[in-house]
Chains A and B, each alone.
Chain A
Amino acid sequence: MITQETAYTLIEKQFSAELTDAEKADLDEWMLDDANRSAFIDKVSDLMLSASEYQAYDAAYWQPVLNSVLEADRTTAQLQALPYRKRMLLPWMAAAAALLLLLWGTFYFTRQQKQPDTAGIQLIKDVAPGHTGAVLTLADGRTVALDSLPNGVVATDNGAEIRMDGKGLVYNNKGTAATAYNIISTPVGRQFMLTLPDGSKVWLNSASSLRYPVAFTGKERRVQVTGEVFFEVAADAARPFRVETERYGVLEVLGTAFNINVYADEKHGATTLIAGAVRVNSGRQQLVLQPGQQAQVSATQAIQLNANANLAQVTAWKDGVFNFANQPLEVVMRQLARWYDIEIVYEGHVPDIEFFGEMGKNLTLQQVLHVLEQTGVKFKMEETNKLVVMP
């Protein structure tokens, strides 16, 4: 190892001329030793401060860098996709490949806004993304489609006035003792938000449903869910809130915000707590969750705790984003199936790929597949809505 004095001479030389390969190797070795970090910083910051060369500021050149810096701590990046393939030859090669994909994906989307597709998968007919909408079933079985209703009263049911208010459905209770139940359900390709009679807010992902009374008159507020639903429960200590599921037991809610995912085609039911407290009771086991934790309930009612849930990922759907971080291909494809109303068929084995990154749910199917294809998976659209996935 060279001495600090020699290293300093080499650093000075680096500022004015090119080092020989041997000198570079010596300096590299010196720099790689952690003990020399502060000596390096002392010397280099001195040299930088005594430099006298000034280069006029090129705003056009630096603006993207400045933007990236300011984006770094904003947490809802749109249209960034970084899919990558597991099991590559060498770690750094995998990284380099992933980077190229990211670069390409970013480039693609920037360009995409202006030009039509010229490469990659071409669906016979592109599939538009899903949108807001739901079906309301009243106590007597009548149904109201809530896809494109103007704001105003859409129904009255057992003394409750039901209105659309721009964001979603709102219940205005005119006083009723009757226990009448309504059901709100989202088809594939729709998501929806409503405010319950007690003021609790509920978001339904696609292919989901919620059953609730038009007025919470009892000692408990009880609702039943299927699919994936996000709750912000209005505080009311006198009347606990209970969420019941078909296969994964009951949630006793002690307060505020949580996401529940009990799709029948997923491996387990998952309740993720954002704020407040929730007791998960699977019928066999019980667990009180802390914010940031997730309870996974298996088909046999066993509860597994994930103490560090990825909250951004769990709630991304509600904000119009697919978040594919560490998601296997099958989970990603199920999300797409529910949003684009397509059927997924695997030809041969299911490729062992994990994804990484975010994409807006406002993209068309073709745009999404375009990016996913960069991992090497192939897609083929059969008939109108059957998507074949090929390794």
Chain B
Amino acid sequence: MPQNVPLSIEKELLQQIAGGDEAAFGRLFSLVVPVLQRSVLKLVASEEGMQEVIQETFIRVWLNRDKLPELDKPVHWLFRVASNESLTYLRKKALQKRHLNVYAGGGGEKSAEEEQASALMTLKETSLLVQQAVNRLPPQRQLIYRMSRNEGLKNSEIAEKLGVTDSHVRNTLVMALQSIREYLAAAGKVVPLMALFFKNF
């Protein structure tokens, strides 16, 4: 597959992200967004839509962080995820347009406020589903996940507090992410991203 975009992603960065490093994730975000932004904007033809697609794309990336170091071609995978989120957005728009035509007799462009509100809702939906998923984790797994994400503790700090090993904490976090992804998939919010991993490369 051709690649013109000036982007390469170091394995080390992906490993840092897999360890839950938010700053490393921020660096990935700032590397990828500049090469993705224009394409997504052209495809979805609205700035709010572009923001929403990029936001949803990176939520997927973040929720798959434990798997990032295994990726052979991380750039290709990322662009497939972005394409998938673009499609989700375009389908949503297409369906809304149909409903507008049915109920309001056509016309009816949405205002900028509604556009922005819709982007917020998408995030809110995803984020609510993620929170429900976290709430359904078994108690110990939930506790460790919250200590990591809410309190920002390092794996070693969690291990010390709970009297377990570092690798137990690491494995628990991976299992927690797996459960969250399964919950989101079951809620129909995302196609399983594993399907995107092995396509064409």
Residues of A within 8 A of B (CB): 11, 14-16, 18, 28, 31-32, 37-38, 40-42, 44-57, 59, 62, 65-66, 68-77, 82, 90, 92, 95-96, 98-100, 102-103, 106, 257, 274-275, 291-292, 308, 310-312
Contacts of A47 in B (CB 8 A): 39
Contacts of B79 in A (CB 8 A): 45, 48-49
Contacts of A308 in B (CB 8 A): 136
Known: A72-B123, A103-B120. A55 touches B37 (CB 8 A): yes
Question: Is A42 a contact partner of B76 (Cβ separation < 8 A)?
Answer: no
Question: Is A95 a contact partner of B121 (Cβ separation < 8 A)?
Answer: yes
Number of interface residues of B (CB under 8 A): 73
Contacts of A311 in B (CB 8 A): 135
For the complex of A and B, list the 4 residue pairs with the smallest distance between their C-beta atoms, beginning with the closest.
A99-B117, A275-B139, A44-B83, A28-B94
Question: Is B5 a contact partner of A52 (Cβ separation < 8 A)?
Answer: yes
Q: Name the contact of A14 in the complex, choosing from B43, B138, B191 (C-beta under 8 A).
A: B43
Beta-carbon nearest neighbor of B41 in chain A: A55
For the complex, what is the distance from the CA of A56 to the CA of B134, rounded to whole Å?
36
The interface centre, meaning the residue of A18, A28, A310 with most chain B CB atoms within 10 A of its CB, is: A28
- Is B54 an interface residue when CB atoms closer than 8 A count as contact? yes
Question: Is A310 a contact partner of B86 (Cβ separation < 8 A)?
Answer: no
Question: Is A49 a contact partner of B4 (Cβ separation < 8 A)?
Answer: yes
Beta-carbon nearest neighbor of A273 in chain B: B139
Question: Is B62 a contact partner of A100 (Cβ separation < 8 A)?
Answer: no
Chain B: minimal CB distance from A24 (Å): 9
For the complex, what is the distance from the CA of A75 to the CA of B143, rounded to whole Å?
11
For the complex, what is the distance from the CA of A172 to the CA of B3, rounded to whole Å?
69
For the complex, what is the distance from the CA of A257 to the CA of B138, rounded to whole Å?
13
Q: Name the contact of B199 in the complex, choosing from A42, A92, A95, A103 (C-beta under 8 A).
A: A42
Contacts of B90 in A (CB 8 A): 28, 31
For the complex, what is the distance from the CA of A315 to the CA of B190, rounded to whole Å?
29
Contacts of A44 in B (CB 8 A): 43, 83, 86-87
- Is B91 an interface residue when CB atoms closer than 8 A count as contact? yes
Question: Is A103 a contact partner of B116 (Cβ separation < 8 A)?
Answer: yes
Contacts of A99 in B (CB 8 A): 114, 117-118, 120-121
Question: Is A96 a contact partner of B39 (Cβ separation < 8 A)?
Answer: no
